[in-house]
Amino acid sequence: MKRLPLFVSVLLNVMFCALLLLFFIRNSFLRPYAGSPTREVLAGLLVLGSLYANYFLLYPKIYVPRAHMIYWMVLLVIAISAGSVEILIVYRHVTACNAYIIQAVGVFNFIATTLLLLVGRNLAINLFPFLLREKKFYQQALEKEVKTVRENFRMLDVADKKNNLYFISVDDIYYCQQSGNYTRIRTVQGKTYDRLCSMRILEHFLEGEEFIRVNSSVLLPLRYIKSCRGDRVTMKKMPWAEETYSFQLDRKRRENVSAQIKEGLKNLKTRSKDWKVSQNKTPYKPAVPPQTKIDDVLVCIQCHPDCNSRDIVTCTQYSLSTVERCLAELRKQGLVEFRGSKKKGGYYVVGEGDELLP
């Protein structure tokens, strides 16, 4: 639900307050007339105070789903208090004008009956802010869930010509074009879907993505725009397309949209270049072990020819990864070599043990 501008919200609240006060001036609602418009306005202000206190303070601070007894108890106390004050405001006028009625039913019965009616009225009126807050709460929760799904999965709900519901990836959108009450969506695979929403709603849904609105009825992803020259935007040609798609820019916003497209394409090229550079970086090389450890491994091979890496681990008490790095460095320097098969072979110092070879 889109939020109203601040001045519109303030104007609606002022009009609502004025209508409610006018209603109390012209009508004595569930109680006798207070005797003057001033007292009726005071009674209306009591109800307005309970309404806005409920809407802005009680519900946000006290109400908890599945554990809201405290909220209703506080609301009941406020309704009883407002009703009691209202009776005190109009009591003198009522006793002066309707003394015979009070004597017939009794003062206590009269006040109890009137108070019960006023409390019921206040609770009924305060039900509307509760319902409005509930609707707003669930609407915000729904918008939060939709935003989470869109950010994590980047999916858009669409329908085909037979009204079958599908979910397509936002990255697969080729272009979006308004068609009456629907928005037609074409994907890079060449499939066409419809979505029952206006272009403004779809643009708001894709907010934060790399999309740009070139005119009042077309929304394009920057990743599939080939060029922007003059008043036309040219799209990249797809294998399924017979010809290249192009769209006309909005006349009033031509320069602004053209600049945004060029800036967006430039940023995409920069990101792609940075990604390629990061992919072509020199692979990670393990650190060279200290020379003392390399010498220990070399001495072990000299003392125990035909030993493998696990034998060297037992001899030197170094870790297997350290021994492997020392062996790699020795082989790189041409000091040792591996002879035989992988399972039964071993390491020798270069130049030693050659007389044993056939």
Q: Where exactly are the structural domains of the chain? A: 6-151, 158-279, 291-353
Q: Can you say how many angstroms the Cα of residue 154 is from the centroid of all Cα atoms in its chain?
A: 11
Does the pLDDT value for residue 214 go beyond 80? Answer: yes
CATH of 291-353, one of 3.40.630.10, 3.40.1010.20, 2.40.170.20, 1.10.10.10: 1.10.10.10
**DSSP assignment of 289-324:** PPHHHHHHHHHHHHHSTTB-HHHHHHHH---HHHHH
CA–CA separation, 244 and 229 (whole Å): 14
pLDDT at residue number 175: 92
Q: Give the residue ranges of DSSP H helices in 54-68.
A: 59-62
Q: If you classify domain 158-279 with CATH, what class do you get?
A: mainly beta
pLDDT at residue number 94: 60
- Cα atoms found within 13 Å of the Cα of residue 335, Cβ hemisphere only: 14
Give the tens place of pLDDT for each residue, 52-87: 888 788 777 777 766 678 888 888 888 888 888 887
Length of the chain counted residue by residue? 358
Contact between residue 265 and residue 312 where contact means Cβ atoms under 8 Å apart: no
Cα-based torsion angle of the residue sequence 234, 238, 239, 240 in order, rounded to the nearest 10 degrees: -100
Q: How confident is the model at residue 272 (pLDDT cuts 50, 70, 90)?
A: low
Contact between residue 309 and residue 324 where contact means Cβ atoms under 8 Å apart: yes
pTM value > 0.85: no
Contact between residue 339 and residue 346 where contact means Cβ atoms under 8 Å apart: yes
pLDDT at residue number 49: 85
Give the tens place of pLDDT for each residue, 17-54: 888 888 877 776 667 777 778 888 888 888 888 888 88
Residues 6+ apart with CB under 8 A from 245: 174, 175, 234, 235, 237
Residues 6+ apart with CB under 8 A from 67: none
- Cα atoms found within 13 Å of the Cα of residue 167, Cβ hemisphere only: 5
